[in-house]
Amino acid sequence: MLALVRHGETDWNSAGRLQGRTDIPLNDLGRRQANDAGAALAAQDWDLLVSSPLRRAVETAEIIGSHVGLDISLTIPDLIERDFRGAEGSVLLGMEREDIDKLLLVSESEAEVAARSVDALQQLVRENAGRRIIVVAHGTLIRVTMGLLRGEPHAHVLNCETIELEPELLMGFEPEAAIR
């Protein structure tokens, strides 16, 4: 079993800014969200805790780990958020969908994000067969990964939302097919 958890809120999240790979820390609400997620996850047994290397994900994972009795075993570079490139820091609140789509044309594609995420998760599962793993990552990465795996769009992922994923859904899936 994998539990995919989006990091807690940051000031950029609350302002509606694209933060992508910009390394923004959690705010106080984000820390409370991480504590709530950790308390909920503590109701089950977990074997491994991994994270994106960005500090908002690492801090969320550390807080969750304090509840489930695990330290972060590994940070996985390919679980970093989508690279929004020149669009990073842009405020999307109040923008029309068409304008947002134009702004995101400079970004790493969602298909590329999903492919690298699925590849990283497959490797994690192969190397840790049978283990129950908490993965702390990012909203767009989780949303497009789940959409690719399930073959239909996935809804927006809230801060500290947890999505359980059976490893079998990952294995045998060809992530590179997503970018063809």
Task: Give whole-number Cα distances, 4 to 15, 80, 158, in Å.
Answer: 24, 13, 12
Of residues 59, 81, 88, 110, which has the active-site annotation? 81
CA pair distance 102, 105, nearest whole angstrom: 5
- Cβ–Cβ under 8 Å, residues 56 and 30: yes
> Per the structure block, which two tokens stand in for 44?
């089950």
CA pair distance 15, 51, nearest whole angstrom: 24
Please indicate whether residue 161 is annotated as part of the active site: no
Q: Length of the chain in residues, anyone?
A: 180
For residue 109, with 0-12 CB atoms within 10 Å meaning exposed, 13-18 middle and 19 or more buried, which class applies? Answer: middle
Task: Report the largest interatomic distance among the alpha carbons of the chain, rounded to a whole angstrom.
Answer: 45
- Cβ–Cβ under 8 Å, residues 48 and 128: yes
- Cβ–Cβ under 8 Å, residues 147 and 153: yes
Please indicate whether residue 81 is annotated as part of the active site: yes
* Active site amino acids: 7, 81
